[in-house]
């Protein structure tokens, strides 16, 4: 699980400054980091995401889906909101 969290944190550094991004861009970055496709699809379904997506909402949902989020990840998240 820690490795997945590291990858999602890396995703935050790539997309963090952006307010909204196309869902296709999030999916491309997700796939580039070899994160599970099924998990991405589930997050999209749960969040009702499509088209231009509020990146930080997607990120928050992805972190909460993991169950445990590092303090560093949340600090970076809060600085970008």
> Residue 8: which H helix or E strand, with range?
helix 2-15
By 3-state DSSP, what share of the chain in percent is helix, strand and coil, each rounded to 5? Answer: 70, 5, 25
Output the CA torsion sign for 60, 61, 63, 64.
positive
**pLDDT band (50, 70, 90) for residue 39:** confident
pLDDT digits (tens, 9 = 90+) for 28-37: 988 988 888 9
What is the tens place of the pLDDT at every residue in 44-77?
999 999 999 998 888 888 877 765 555 566 566 5
- Distance from the Cα of residue 62 to its chain's centroid: 5
């Amino acid at each position: 699980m820690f490795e997945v969290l590291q990858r999602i944190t890396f995703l935050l550094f790539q997309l963090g400054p952006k307010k909204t991004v196309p869902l296709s861009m999030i999916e491309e970055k997700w796939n580039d980091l070899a994160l599970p496709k099924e998990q991405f699809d589930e997050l999209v379904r749960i969040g009702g995401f499509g088209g231009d997506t509020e990146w930080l909402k997607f990120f928050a949902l992805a972190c909460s889906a993991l169950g445990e989020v590092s303090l560093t990840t949340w600090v970076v998240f809060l600085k970008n909101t």
